Structure 1
Amino acid sequence: MQRRQRGAHTGLLLLFAQIYQFGFNNMPPVTLALLGLNIYLFLYPMKPLLYVCISVHKGYHHNDWERFLLSPFHHADDWHLYFNMVSLLWKGTKLERRLGSVQFAIIIAVFSQLIGVVYVLVQLLLAECINDPSYNMQCAVGFSGVLFALKVLNNHYHPGGSTYVFGFQVPNKYACWAELVAIHILSPGTSFVGHLSGILVGLLYTHGPLEWILKSAGYTRYPQYEYQENRSERPYDMYTGGVSEDEQLQQALQESLHQTRQWGTSGRDEQQPSLEELRRRRLNKF
């Protein structure tokens, strides 16, 4: 398998334009690091694609375990890289903000390796059931399997709604399956089993034991997850540093009494401010 050349890397140039338009400041750190890693390994691959792609024959029969580590982060050409990274830019940013950077990093680390394992198992099963050894030789690279798994998570954490898959409106909970079929029909050279493996790993996390296993291994939820979820319900948090509303009122009352003592008799005829007035003063201060 050799990397296909496409002129002056038009896909790579378009990817840089997309990243610039999105803005580096708008990207969470893990998503940004993943983009950088995939772009770097495209420009400076650790090995030729023939030696990093994952297959039953190379990865399992020849015990070349390094392929499991390298195959998700190498791409066949610049357009392969472009479409995967633009998808990562959206899915990664949305999920990392929803879950927090630590949890998202753990998910990426586990998914990128587990998808390769599932891919090899499915190919091995197909080769045995259909009695077709060609499945053992099919070699795959790219981040698209992880992206299909992230799509399952996105639909799990943001249920409802619909999306368009190649012009057809599909409920979000079925979108990953519709894309799996549509991509295989429109682009037969893509890895159907690789994409399917991503969906299966995503379902293992959202409806299976994978999330529980990660938590049992020492993973816990982090405070930024709750903050992201409740920021619309507690709009003052972004101004108060997390101080509760009651604490704000108590502190405002103490400051008001302190100011009254400083004013002395000059404020004797003024009325004690109401709670609403104290709230307004506190917010104005922030």
Structure 2
Amino acid sequence: MQRRSRGINTGLILLLSQIFHVGISNIPPVTLATLVLNIWFFLNPLKPLFESCLSVEKCYQQKDWQRLLLSPFHHADDWHLYFNMASMLWKGINLERRLGSRWFAYVIVTFSLLTGVVYLFLEFALAEFMDEPGFRRNCAVGFSGVLFALKVLNNHYCPGGFANILGFPVPNRFACWAELAAIHFISPGTSFAGHLAGILVGLMYTHGPLKKIMRKCAGIFSSNMHYYGHQDHFNSSGELGYADILHIIQD
């Protein structure tokens, strides 16, 4: 896996333009730090993509566990970075204001690691169930698994709204599944398992035990994370931004 060269990084320029259009002062600190971190690793990757992408073969069989940390923050090209970070910008603004910066940072770190673990489990299960070793070699990179998990949270807080998926109104409770299908209909080469892993992690948080486990692990710091601090409210319509409607994530 090698980073595709497109000459001028148009996607990066568009992303920076969008960030400055929103206004750096209007972006909560953890969201801004996540954007900066992803941009930094795009411009200064710690390792080549083929050494940072996540696969069962490389991570589990060869014990290269550092890929769990590297893969979410490396992107295949500038457009991959743009679509992911444009989506992160709006999700982060909404969720960080609702959850509070400390808890949101905790969520980002937990989702980044756990999405990778679930992805490895899904690819391993597919390889075993279908007797197809190729699934063990599938190598994913990018932040989109985490974004799908955040999308589940976003839609969870707008239970009665609708999302606009490729021009069709979809109830928020089904929006993630509809977008999962839409993305892989438009771009079959994307990682279905990577995106599905994000949805499953999000559901583990909103309907499963993950949130309770995170609170227990946070211990004495949980009282400072303002989980219940609903400073702002989501748009009641629950419609997604254009980056969510049109993006083709290359996870």
TM-score, scaled to structure 2: 0.89
* 1:220 match: 222
- How far off is 1:162 after superposition? 0.3
How far did residue 159 of structure 1 move? 1.8
User: Post-superposition shift, 1:230?
Assistant: 8.4
Aligned pairs (5 A) from 1:195-206: 195-206=195-206
Taking the aligned partners of 1:144 and 1:44, their CA distance within structure 2 comes to 20
What is the percentage of aligned positions where both structures have the same residue? 61
Output one character per residue of 1:36-57: Cα deviation in whole Å (capped at 9) or x when no partner. 0000000000000000000000
* TM-score (ref. length: structure 1): 0.78
Residues 1:4 and 2:7 are matched in the alignment? no
- Is this contact kept in 1: 2:99–2:229, CA < 8 A? no
Distance 1:162 1:133 in 2: 40
Q: Distance in 2 between matches of 1:52 and 1:187?
A: 23
Structure 1 counterpart SS, 2:173: helix
- In 2, Cα distance between equivalents of 1:223 and 1:2: 39
Question: What code does the residue aligned with 1:220 have?
Answer: S
Identify the structure with bigger relative contact order (alpha carbons < 8 Å, sequence gap 6+): 2
Structure 2, unpaired ranges of 5+ = 234-251
Tell me, in whole angstroms, the C-alpha distance in 2 between the residues paired with 1:86 and 1:78.
12
Report the 3-state secondary structure (helix = DSSP H, G, I; strand = E; otherwise coil) of the residue aligned with 2:169: strand
SS at match of 1:47: coil
CA distance in 2 between partners of 1:226 and 1:139 (Å):
37
For residues 115-167 of structure 1, the C-alpha deviation after alignment (integer angstroms, 9 at most, x for no partner) is 11000000000000001111000000000000000000111122211011111
Letter in 2 for 1:2: Q
Q: Is the 8 A contact 1:100 1:222 kept in 2?
A: no
For residue 98 of structure 2, what is the aligned residue in structure 1?
98
1:35 aligns with 2:35: yes
- Cα offsets for 1:232-257 (capped at 9, x unmatched): xxxxxxxxxxxxxxxxxxxxxxxxxx
Give the 3 Å change call, closer, same or farther, for CA 212–225 of structure 1 in structure 2. Answer: closer
Paired residue type of 2:200: L
Q: Output the CA distance in 2 between the equivalents of 1:162 and 1:142.
A: 27
Partners of 1:116 and 1:127 in 2: how far apart? 17
- Give the secondary-structure state (helix, strand or coil) at the position aligned to 2:148: helix
- More helix by percentage: 1
Q: Contact 1:103/1:221 (CA < 8 Å) preserved in 2?
A: no
Compared CA separation, residues 185 and 226, structure 1 to 2 (3 A)? closer
CA separation of 1:167 and 1:64: change in aligned 2, threshold 3 A: same
2:161 maps to 161
Q: Hey, what does 2:19 align to over in structure 1?
A: 19
Over 3 Å counting, the alpha-carbon distance change for 1:131 and 1:23 in structure 2 is same
Amino acid at match of 1:128: E
2:7 counterpart SS class: coil
DSSP 3-state at the match of 1:189? coil
In 2, Cα distance between the equivalents of 1:161 and 1:228?
Answer: 18
Q: In the aligned structure 2, how far is the partner of 1:51 from the partner of 1:230?
A: 40
Partners of 2:12 and 2:78 within 8 A in 1: yes
What displacement does 1:189 show? 1.5
**Larger radius of gyration, structure 1 or 2?**
1
In the TM superposition, residue 228 of structure 1 has moved relative to its aligned partner by: 3.7
Output the aligned Cα RMSD.
1.5
Higher mean C-alpha deviation, range 26-35 or range 163-172: 163-172
Which residue in the other structure is 2:242 paired with? Answer: none
Q: Partner of 2:244 in structure 1?
A: none
Aligned to 1:59: 59
Q: Deviations over 1:196-240 (max 9, x none)?
A: 000000000111110010111115244755554489xxxxxxxxx
